[in-house]
Amino acid sequence: MTTISQRLREATAVAHQQAESATFIDDLLSGRLDADQYGRLAAQLYFVYRALEEVGTALAGDPIADAVLDDRLRRTERLRSDLVALGIDPETITPLPAVERYVAAIEATVHEPARYIAHHYTRYLGDLSGGQVVAHRMREHYGLDASTLSFYSFDGIDKLKRYKDAYRDRIDALDIDESGVDNLVAEAISAFELNQELFADLDAARVGARPA
């Protein structure tokens, strides 16, 4: 029998690969950009995580949402701290159009915890996995340090793999019917597509800002 986490992994494989190979991310991780471009990414993620964690707070106490909610995962304040360390005032940044759509999609799940979990899964498991590679590359290519990369540090979680395995186990144990699983999987695919749109907007703004 295929578990929920297996369905999620298989259904999102293509969208996941497309998001990871987006031009902006490929250039950033390959050292072809600069620390300012990482700052632009972090600034946009600030809006995403603020929405994700505000909806998570609203859903606290729901038995489905509570399966994944964990204060150790919260990233908003870490992003705010990183932005300040990068010389970016969080009060002056504005979301790109793709981020406005992303935030709206997250906020729309406030009464549908199974769909909310799709966004939670997409972002936090990504941070616990590929996010660690991102942090390493930012240090390696652009000389960023812990003060600007606290977003990727998960205090209180000693073994990331063990935590990720337990997280997937909790998803597999969710008390949702087949329709709920279908909605969760569809929302996860959409979440990866929204990430692709975010990266495309960042790249378009970067290219548009180049001198002629």
User: Do the beta carbons of residue 36 and residue 70 sit within 8 Å?
Assistant: no
CB neighbours of residue 202 within 10 Å: 24
Q: Tokens for 89? A: 């005032």
CA nearest neighbour of 127 among 180, 67, 89, 76? 76
Mean pLDDT for 189-193 is 95
- Mean of the pLDDT values across residues 47-75? 97
Q: What is the CB neighbour count within 10 angstroms for residue 117?
A: 29
Task: Identify the helix (H) or strand (E) that includes residue 118.
Answer: helix 113-128
Residue 66 corresponds to which tokens in the numbers above?
């509570």
| Structural contact between residues 125 and 169, judged by C-beta atoms closer than 8 angstroms | no
124-162 pLDDT, tens per residue?
Answer: 999 999 899 999 999 999 999 999 999 999 988 989 999
Distances (CA, A) of 153 to 25, 73, 75, 150: 20, 10, 9, 5
Measure the CA–CA gap between 8 and 15, rounded to whole angstroms: 11
Residue 175 CA to residue 198 CA, distance in Å, equals: 32
pLDDT single digits (tens) 2-48: 999 999 999 999 988 898 899 999 999 999 999 999 999 999 999 99
pLDDT digits (tens, 9 = 90+) for 68-115: 999 999 999 999 999 999 999 999 999 999 999 999 999 999 999 999
The answer to whether residues 68 and 59 touch, using CB atoms and an 8 Å cutoff, is: no
CA neighbours closer than 13 Å in the CB half-sphere of residue 90 = 15
Question: Which long-range contacts (C-beta less than 8 Å, at least 24 apart) are formed by 70-74?
Answer: 72/154, 72/155, 72/156, 72/157, 73/124, 73/127, 73/154, 74/49
Q: Read off the amino acid at residue 65.
A: A
Q: Which of 72, 69, 85, 75 is nearest to 35 (CA)?
A: 85
Instruction: Identify the pLDDT of residue 45.
Output: 98
Ranges of H-type helices in the chain: 4-11, 13-20, 23-29, 35-59, 76-85, 97-107, 113-128, 130-142, 160-172, 178-209
pLDDT on residue 209: 57
